[in-house]
Chains A and B, each alone.
Chain A
């Protein structure tokens, strides 16, 4: 489901109801919508503005301020290559160029088949294991370009949202 431009008004409606009338809940609401739909489609932003009683321009302003929000559809897997200080001095740029070459897209873009979205991030906090990257919710460290390529191939084979062992924590 993720990454598809679903017009699932039922689920969206339930989310809107949860936060209706709470203008301070804009960010959590946008986070929930994005978790559900993979990105923030324009109609959903307009619905969110109505539900919280906010001007649409304010919702748009917040949605474009934070790096985490996306107004365009995303890939089923999101690959974030870290270019923090530690990764920078230990060769993070080489990981990024390899991943970028493997996927055939520039950072910020999504592959035409919507399998992957590639991003560069400032720091994942895994500096002790730099260079590092994150695919979906899993962090991988001590990378080499070849190791990064292998990881991409593994995720390409895997079904989205499953089997990766990611997020096996508290929930």
Chain B
């Protein structure tokens, strides 16, 4: 069937009624990449097998990520409109769930996550959702991303119908401008303004492009949207294409997201079948063809001019701007390029109006932002919060604070382009400008929480290593500058820092920031600059005192064995090539710091997590390790301590 502006509403109403009338039993399995990675497919198979074995019939729905990564795999049971969610499901748990909940109709309290509410407020009982406001993610976890009818039944493509039937191109752009929407990919350029530039650029042939090259380590917001609600992105792109006068579009998705590619591909073909994409969109004279381009593994392709070069089949190297893509983009034609989350906001803006959208957020940052909350945080997941919420609220109220009750040290926001902010800046509101002012940036929304066992010098080295290997090599400051910075940081972590290094590092970082060609190089020094600014004493400890206070940098810390965890199995002793470990079987072993070469072999060999590392002055080396000679003398002959590296008697 082909939809038109005239018959769309009827079609939608029929689907909505059908969805409403669904009584009886429905099982819902979360199968985003997170759900799958946690074993979702195995749980689904076990569920199907168990139902089959009992001869039960139930509708099993597969949905995208609801944002509660910590509790994956999630299986929900919906009966007569009431939906209860069960977390951390495994195939072993399936028979009991079916027995008690499906057959018996009783809650299985042990695994219950909670009652699932509305898409705007998924779990009314969970603190994780209390401060959230779901606009972009509202369908994720609620609709079947592989079924366009489910999207339409939940109000999908209504914004497109409204735009095509009741709005002019100028009105659409004005509405987006009024919403105050800014680019969600990181830089925060006003979306409406970008559309206006592209619409006004001379030329008949124009393109829209979606940047789904989510390459920041620690970020998975765009993946979740593409996997959980692909049509919202497509709808946003069609509206943009209509507004700027484009008839062709590309969705550029990174190679590491096969599930997102598969779901988008399916979504496009379903939209084509219904006449929502292709020639004569919804029976109008507007044509729009959408294609997927899979990335081939290059972080720099997240930069817009590099991304365009990659679509054209070239090496993904950025070029200087201006001219901006809005004037000269794909194949030299005016091109509007936005991020996944930006497009996914568009249908809401068109349907509800720009003013309603702008009512959420702060003066200069409107709407919501999705964050990937990870690292040493109690509740990892994918919260969507109103702009203006403070980092403290996001980390401690939404995220539940630090894992295992450790101390908060820093929050890394914005990925390799962002920075590390300390405790004293936790009251910074989440908005583009305040984060930039603090030395970090909104970035795409990766937020990695670090506890007191994280070494900031090591973390800066980690990011530098990443950007250095991803530098495309076109401009000298980025290609050479990041390499020299990395070399310095590596030396610090090995205890080979020299006086004056910190000043040199700071100066070089500033040069790279100011003189690099594209966003990658211009922001690459941010993790170094912010850690130098907020955690300078930690750098000084490494460079001047050859100490790693967090006990992370191998060369600068001591290995020791926690006597309360050590079972005396002797595995560490066998693994030690330098003969630094001694001990009696079934009694706690000890490491001799003088012989230890800090290779970590004992740590890898220990099955009980008893081998620990710490700053040399904290490791209980003195009292805890008895003098091997003395204990040898005291021990009976057949239980004399063995030493690693010696042959077994």
Contact = CB atoms under 8 A, between A and B. Distances in A.
Interface string B17-41: 0000000000000000110111001
Interface string A72-95: 000000000001111011100010
Nearest to A127: B374
A132 to B, nearest CB: 6
Nearest to B466: A122
Contact of A85 (B38, B380, B462): B462
Nearest to A128: B69
A124 interface: yes
A141 B34 contact: yes
Given A122-B217, A126-B34, A141-B34, A167 B372 contact: no
B70 interface: yes
A89 B331 CA distance: 42
A168 B470 CA distance: 31
A122 B299 contact: yes
Contacts of A27: 293-294, 296, 310, 313
A137 B36 CA distance: 11
B290 to A, nearest CB: 15
B215 A123 contact: yes
A140 B374 CA distance: 16
Contact of A89 (B36, B298, B450, B466): B450
Nearest to A129: B37
Contact of A139 (B36, B299, B415): B36
B224 to A, nearest CB: 8
Interface residues of A, number: 50
B218 A85 contact: yes
Interface stretch (B111-119, B260-268, B624-632): B260-268
B376 interface: yes
B37 A167 contact: no
Interface stretch (A9-17, A60-68, A110-118): A60-68
Interface in A116-171: 121-130, 132, 134, 137-142, 145, 165, 167-171
A140 B262 contact: no
B220 A167 contact: no
Contacts of B472: 65
B312 interface: yes
Contacts of A88: 217, 459, 462
A95 B298 CA distance: 24
A89 B294 contact: no
B256 A128 contact: no
Interface in B187-216: 214-216
A26 B314 CA distance: 8
Nearest to B301: A66
Contact of A127 (B220, B256, B263): B220
Contacts of A121: 256
B293 A127 contact: no
A83 B331 CA distance: 35
B218 A69 contact: no
A24 interface: yes
B72 interface: yes
B258 A137 contact: yes
A6 interface: no
Given A86-B448, A139-B37, A128 B70 contact: yes
10 contacts: A85-B217, A85-B374, A86-B448, A88-B462, A122-B217, A123-B217, A127-B218, A129-B34, A141-B37, A170-B266
Interface of A: 23-28, 30-31, 61-62, 65-69, 83-86, 88-90, 94, 97-98, 121-130, 132, 134, 137-142, 145, 165, 167-171
Give the 10 A-B CB pairs with smallest separation, nearest first: A128-B69, A84-B217, A67-B297, A66-B296, A170-B266, A26-B313, A68-B297, A125-B220, A141-B37, A123-B217
